[in-house]
Structure 1
């Protein structure tokens, strides 16, 4: 039998065990309580952050729409969205200033009898104004911003920033110059504001006998057009000089079929401003972007060429060498490794001359960026402005589009050079509209620059509308 001492020890041991168990339970409850409090605090912070972010995005709860034409076509006010009755290209034009004929010219094929119908009328583009972004930083060149008018606090305006504090801004040959040097856009920036010139996915159906935009340069060419694609089937060896060329031809736009067969360089034609009477001749545009989808067989060599005045630039993409070579007037100026691709694998190509730089992209990624100097600054633009060359093996080109950059003008819409009267003051910004022929901006305002205090936020398109 257990002694009284043993019984007492047993009772003490049980009491100690119960005490330890109770402390362990209390500790677990405290740790669980702290975890819940931490999670609740994080949730509160996240909810507060999201609420503040939503509050700083004007236009998310109550829609904000563009009302004028000064930013078209990047951001359009009330406009017609027209489907060309000849080629089927969809284009926009200002609805507040339309021709008396109530007809619009297609910027792609030049068909002039497109009726402006009420069913094609659309409200201005919906945008968001991000008030948050400039609480933490400063506006950057190229950004779209909303601000109160520097001479009228009751007006809210949307423009693009081109001049930062301390900079001298000028316009020459349609380009923006910053402190004497051209503002050089990236490939992404160019794509964001490029204007369509030609889309080979849309052949004409009403008009007969119109010349094609892309034509073989030689009668003995191996380029063939099939199902809105261009096929090269020759086996000429890619020796770096002898290529089979496919040339881009631009045609004048006008109200008669005859003008649609007259060759022309790419001009700063205003398809958005259908009723605008330009008091000066249209200007040659050398800043062009070519986009397409290409597939190249083994041993094939694909070449993209463009001209800027007296200078010719060629980008050679040869699979067997796995190199991308750039030539200016026959002299190699750059070579880079070609991103690996399997033979015949489709590649989305972007090739551009813009702001005195050669740009080349593959599948949305910029792989070549090379500045250049014009050999003759006064040389006129020549034709063809764009060419595609093939050699070695089978090549297929589809979804071919040609775009042009915005051609900026001085206040009277001529090609004369212009410069701001003074350097942009501290905490101020110089702004321009993307539709320079109708935009009223820092070129005309008495107080040309916009104070930082007037800038409300950055303007973006809602992702569900893009």
Structure 2
């Protein structure tokens, strides 16, 4: 009996070995990519793939922060990009990051993928910006492909953007709550700040557009000259991951996207101004009316059945690469617009950008339940300035222009003066 049981066990074991071998053969021949890991030794990709860093939550507004471990310390404490609070590093240890990447064929390579590659006996992680045969140029923060301004859609924008404000994370210190960051024009009575820490509009009878202005705060760590917390400024190409790194100058960033959530109890017309561009969301006629370079235009909005207890409405509205984009679940509209130009006078240009976003209403009842602002990446040339820089892709073999997200820090194809051959790319970073 024991001998018979032993034979059964051997048979089961042999079956398992054969089954495992078959599965292994199938996996090796099924095209399933192999996965590997690589250490991240620098901050060239910023918060997208951080190098050695501290991860914390702001003590005041509780928003998550990721900062380069080499740019902060006991004398240079991390500054929150959302509320400007200075944060302690006590009992927080620096973290070392590793990324997983998969071995794939060249046919899978597309723009914006993050890749691992070898260059001059070192291994790097950067993002694909230029494809084989393309001529890439950078000027005034914009990317040009074969002489044309590259215009991203919102999905591409999200891969490269940086959040600069999120109303869900409000400081507990009342000296820096939303009342200090928003202003109502004149003696307008429609807007109120509620006990729920949101702005609400209440005007059952139609009046005139009443404006609520958002003022952007200076949260740049190490800004010279030093400014008090809560001081208004423009949106710059500052990356909070870098904290106290030294730069010769910061650049104005006029490309950003506003995510806005409303709870509407009685519909009216909501106006929005992003820098010098204005539009209206008419929730009575279900129309989007925009003022753009191509002329005024109307877009139909999906009809909504209003609930007496409030109806949630969400929109994404932004200025991205020369396009005004308005989107929600039912609408994706884009049109050209006339950019706010730089005069060359810093004080004049700064003053024009202190209040980048305004919201108005003329009747109805609504709450602004969420506001989130993210700025676009600001491309820099090989000398880390906004001056024009362009490639000369003359390689005989397919090669890719690879650049780090952390524009003022990364050393990459811009400084190396050459693209990276296809066979030097060892894998694509896994999400």
Q: TM-score range by the shorter chain?
A: 0.7 to 0.9
Question: Separation in 2 of the partners of 1:334 and 1:64?
Answer: 50
The residue that corresponds to 2:273 in the other structure is 305
Going from structure 1 to structure 2, the CA distance change for 1:325 and 1:111 (only over 3 Å counts) comes to same
Which of 312, 322, 329 matches 1:356? 322
Shift of 1:378: 5.1
Cα shift at 1:424? 7.1
Q: Which of structure 1's runs of 4+ aligned residues deviate more than 6 A?
A: 44-47
From 49, 53, 56, the counterpart of 1:79: 53
From 276, 280, 283, the equivalent of 2:245 is 276
2:79 and 2:112 mapped to 1: Cα distance?
30
Matched, 1:228 2:197: yes
Matched, 1:314 2:291: no
TM-score normalised to structure 1 length:
0.76
Question: What's the CA shift string for 1:236-284, capped at 9, x where partnerless?
Answer: 638xxx4222111012235799522432111122311123111x22111
TM-score w.r.t. the length of structure 2 is 0.82
Output the CA distance in 1 between the equivalents of 2:206 and 2:396.
58
Secondary structure, aligned partner of 1:190: helix
- Name the CA shift for 1:166/1:372 in 2 (closer, same or farther; >3 Å): farther
8 A contact 1:432–1:443 mirrored in 2: yes
Aligned partners of 2:24 and 2:205: how far apart in 1? 65
Q: Which residue pairs with 2:373 in the alignment?
A: 402
Distance 1:217 1:197 in 2: 24
Tell me by how many angstroms 1:342 deviates. Answer: 2.7
CA contact (8 A) 1:95 1:121 kept: yes
The runs of 5 or more residues in structure 1 that have no matched partner are 1-43, 462-466
Q: Which runs of 5+ in 2 are unaligned?
A: 1-20
Quick one: structure 1 residues 56 and 339, their matched pair in 2 at CA, closer, same or farther if it must change by over 3 Å?
same
1:451 aligns with 2:421: yes
Q: Which of these residues, 96, 101, 106, is aligned with residue 129 of structure 1?
A: 101
**CA positional deviation for 1:47:** 7.7
C-alpha displacement at 1:94, in angstroms? 0.7
Secondary structure at the residue paired with 1:81?
strand
Q: How does 1:391-430 map to 2 (within 5 A)?
A: 391-422=362-393, 427-430=398-401
After superposition, residues 39-50 of structure 1 pair within 5 angstroms as none
2:23 & 2:313 partners in 1: Cα distance? 41
- SS at structure 2 position matched to 1:208: helix
For the Cα contact (< 8 Å) 2:401–2:419, is it kept in 1?
Answer: yes
CA RMSD of aligned residues (A): 3.0
Aligned partners of 2:115 and 2:429 also within 8 Å: yes
**Distance in 2 of aligned mates of 1:207 and 1:397:** 19
Q: Give the aligned length.
A: 398
Q: Confirm or deny: 8 A CA contact 1:322 1:337 kept in the other structure.
A: yes
Bigger Rg over Cα:
1
With 292-301 and 265-274 compared, the bigger mean Cα shift is at: 292-301
